[in-house]
Amino acid sequence: AQSVTQLDSQVPVFEEAPVELRCNYSSSVSVYLFWYVQYPNQGLQLLLKYLSGSTLVKGINGFEAEFNKSQTSFHLRKPSVHISDTAEYFCAVIQNTGFQKLVFGTGTRLLVSP
């Protein structure tokens, strides 16, 4: 069975500063990796996904993530954050076989202040 660890429950950052949200996973088989964002009182929205190919994945709103197989990591980065990026971010994995059973991390709350 796979699992996902998000090491930081909360990350405070000033507007226009860079940010990295960390995600590590464990799995005995190959996986696909995702980052979802949840704005207050809303559902989840896909930011980006890694299925195959280039290990650097670009998503919406200027976010990107890098798949590192040797370190089993999929960290999310943005070079300059905005107040509107304040939200909760979830890393998730799916085994690349069978049903699309997403396994989520516990989430990281990004707090952007002026």
Partner 1 sequence: NAGVTQTPKFQVLKTGQSMTLQCAQDMNHEYMSWYRQDPGMGLRLIHYSVGAGITDQGEVPNGYNVSRSTTEDFPLRLLSAAPSQTSVYFCASSYGRSYEQYFGPGTRLTVT
Tokens for 23, please give them: 């995600």
From 46, 56, 60, 111, residue interacting with partner 1 (rule: CB under 8 A): 46
From 78, 105, 110, 112, residue interacting with partner 1 (rule: CB under 8 A): 105
C-alpha torsion angle, residues 52, 56, 57, 63 (rounded to 10): 160
> What is the smallest separation between the CB atom of 67 and partner 1, expressed in angstroms?
14
CA dist 90 and 45 (Å) reads 10
Name the residue with tokens 């990796």. 33
> What is the smallest separation between the CB atom of 109 and partner 1, expressed in angstroms?
11
Q: Does 11 bind partner 1 (CB under 8 A)?
A: no
Q: Measured in Å, how far apart are the chain's first and last C-alpha atoms?
A: 41
Binding residues vs partner 1 (CB under 8 A): 4, 9, 32, 34, 36, 42-46, 49, 51, 90, 94, 99-107
